[in-house]
């Protein structure tokens, strides 16, 4: 069976080569981009491309673009005006290492570099344009940023489960959706494959965020690479606060089952993604 980890060497090499300058902001961009994230989103893009019959090498810039957007969101999310976290991926957060202004610009730099990188993919122009629009939409104010906006507005309020779910669908789910769908677009996938990828992404995104909520109360700083308990410290609404730890675990399991079920149209070719969904549900970081 195809191993999801097999994408990592080429992905790391691509990301390593993507930032070519050595000024302070470029250093900060490189620091965060190469800080050792799990690379879930680019792996999802490459695997969907592969199982839809696409050229994985040609999709590499597309996958890297999603990881750049993800890294920018983490840099900005850690800033004092957002979640104010000092540690990320087991290292000082970007603004702790390089100062606020450089971290702000490093995030902006990665956001723009994502679209520059995407534009270099050797794909038919109509696929590139479509990929560009989808990435912008999923990352933008009606997507990931919209989710962050809701998250900030919810702080200190007692919100219902529906509001929390909508926040998670946007904040976490939309970039995961972009990754899965962009893999399909890069491959020129059939509509039924793209539809299945969207269903998979919705369920995986929810499961991923719920496990993130669970780890914030059950893990430790060293394993997680960032301070645990930060959700409670900021009066955040999470699946754990709204549904209890047990309820959150059940919901994560249900969404993981839904993600696996969504892979049915891919038959045996979906096995790698099935295993990835199950391993993310059981992850410790
Ligand atoms: C644009 C400021 C801004 C924020 C957008 C994505 C996001 C919203 C904020 C980042 C913080 C956060 C908890 C997001 C939820 C998604 C999530 C669990 C991110 C962590 O992703 P992992 O676990 O990170 O894939 P690694 O470090 O492995 O890459």
Q: How far is the CA of 13 from the centre of ligand 1 (A)?
A: 22
Ligand 1 lined by 89 (C-beta under 6 Å): yes
Smallest Cα–Cα separation from 177: which of 62, 285, 66?
A: 66
Q: What's the pLDDT at 246?
A: 97
**200 is written with which tokens?**
């998979």
Q: pLDDT digit string (tens) for 70-121? A: 999 999 999 999 999 999 999 999 999 999 999 999 999 999 999 999 999 9
> Which of 41, 110, 145, 171 to mutate to test ligand 1, by most ligand atoms within 8 A of the CB atom?
171
pLDDT tens sequence for the chain (285 residues): 889 999 999 999 999 999 999 999 999 999 999 998 999 999 999 999 999 999 999 999 999 999 999 999 999 999 999 999 999 999 999 999 999 999 999 999 999 999 999 999 999 999 999 999 999 999 999 999 999 999 999 988 989 999 999 999 999 999 999 999 999 999 999 999 999 999 999 999 999 999 999 999 999 999 988 889 988 888 889 999 999 999 999 999 999 999 999 999 999 999 999 999 999 999 999
Atom of ligand 1 nearest to the CA of 39: 29
Ligand 1 lined by 76 (C-beta under 6 Å): yes
Using CA atoms, how far apart are residues 52 and 195, in angstroms rounded to an integer? 12
Ligand 1 lined by 37 (C-beta under 6 Å): yes
Using CA atoms, how far apart are residues 110 and 188, in angstroms rounded to an integer? 26
Q: How far is the CA of 172 from the centre of ligand 1 (A)?
A: 7
Task: Give pTM, 2 decimals.
Answer: 0.97
- CB atoms under 10 Å from CB of 76, counted, come to 22
Using CA atoms, how far apart are residues 39 and 17, in angstroms rounded to an integer? 16
């Amino acid at each position: 069976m195809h191993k999801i980890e097999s994408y990592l060497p080429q992905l790391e090499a691509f990301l390593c080569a993507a930032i070519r300058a050595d000024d302070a902001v470029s250093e900060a961009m490189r620091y965060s981009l190469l800080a050792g994230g799990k690379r879930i989103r680019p792996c999802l893009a490459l695997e969907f491309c592969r199982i839809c019959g696409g050229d994985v090498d040609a999709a590499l810039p597309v996958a890297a673009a999603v990881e750049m957007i993800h890294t920018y969101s983490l840099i900005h999310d850690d800033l004092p005006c957002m979640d104010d976290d000092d540690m990320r991926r087991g290292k000082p957060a970007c603004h702790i290492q390089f100062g606020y202004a450089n971290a702000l610009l490093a995030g902006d730099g990665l956001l723009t570099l994502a679209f520059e990188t995407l534009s270099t993919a050797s794909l038919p122009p109509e696929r590139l344009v479509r990929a560009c629009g989808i990435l912008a939409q999923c990352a933008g104010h009606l997507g990931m940023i919209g989710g962050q906006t809701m998250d900030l507005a919810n702080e200190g309020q007692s919100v219902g489960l529906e509001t929390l779910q909508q926040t998670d669908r946007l904040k976490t789910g939309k970039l995961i959706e972009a990754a899965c769908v962009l893999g399909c677009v890069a491959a020129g996938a059939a509509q039924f494959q793209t539809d299945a990828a969207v269903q998979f992404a919705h369920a995986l995104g929810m499961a991923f965020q719920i496990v993130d909520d669970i780890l914030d109360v059950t893990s430790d700083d060293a394993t997680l690479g960032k301070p645990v308990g930060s959700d409670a410290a900021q009066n955040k609404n999470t699946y754990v606060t709204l549904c209890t730890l047990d309820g959150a675990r059940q919901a994560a399991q249900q969404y993981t089952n839904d993600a696996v079920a969504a892979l049915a149209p891919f038959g045996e070719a979906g096995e790698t993604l099935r295993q990835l969904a199950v391993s993310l549900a059981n992850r410790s970081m």
